[in-house]
Amino acid sequence: MVTSAPNEDRHDEGEPPPADLGMADLFTEVVKEFGTLVSKEMQLARIELSEKMTLVALNVGLIVVGAVLVMAALLLLLQAAVAALVAQGFSTTVATLIVAGATLIIGVVTLWFGATRLEAKNLAPSRTLESLQEDAAVAKYQVTPQ
């Protein structure tokens, strides 16, 4: 019974080892590997862009929540103006203004938080760009005569 040794070349039977390949075969292999690399890079880019779109959706949601809170603050401020006209007794107006001011502050902070997280640097596909730069450096090294 014949078994393969673990350290044997991983080439198919009948395929010459890399040292025996001609220039055309080597070029074909490089083109094939480059095609595989480009395919993998495109797959990585799609995954990363999908993640970035999820990030955008989340932050747009925060902006919407902030906008709703700001609108509520405006309604409370209007209610405070009405309460000032009809109120009797202890300062309902002051209490309403405090609630409206707090709601306004929360709304503005939420809007700011969502908007700052939508900066372009957070949306760029950084892992893909780094990987492409590394691939370009490797390709340049392999093509450069030594």
Determine, yes or no, domain membership for 3.
Answer: no
Q: Give dist(CA 10, CA 14) in Å, integer.
A: 12
Determine, yes or no, domain membership for 50.
Answer: yes
Predicted TM-score (pTM) of this structure: 0.40
Q: Is 90 left (phi over 0), alpha (psi -120 to 50) or beta?
A: beta
Among candidate residues 104, 97, 57, the one with its CA nearest the CA of residue 81: 97
Mean pLDDT, each 10-residue run in order, the chain (146 residues): 47 56 78 86 88 89 93 83 61 73 87 84 76 79 68
Q: Give dist(CA 138, CA 30) in Å, integer.
A: 12
Determine, yes or no, domain membership for 146.
Answer: no
Determine, yes or no, domain membership for 16.
Answer: no
Q: Give dist(CA 1, CA 128) in Å, integer.
A: 48
Determine, yes or no, domain membership for 2.
Answer: no
pLDDT for the residue 86? 64
The range of the structural domain enclosing residue 52 comes to 23-137
Determine, yes or no, domain membership for 76.
Answer: yes
pLDDT for the residue 137? 80
Determine, yes or no, domain membership for 144.
Answer: no
Domain total in the chain: 1
Determine, yes or no, domain membership for 63.
Answer: yes
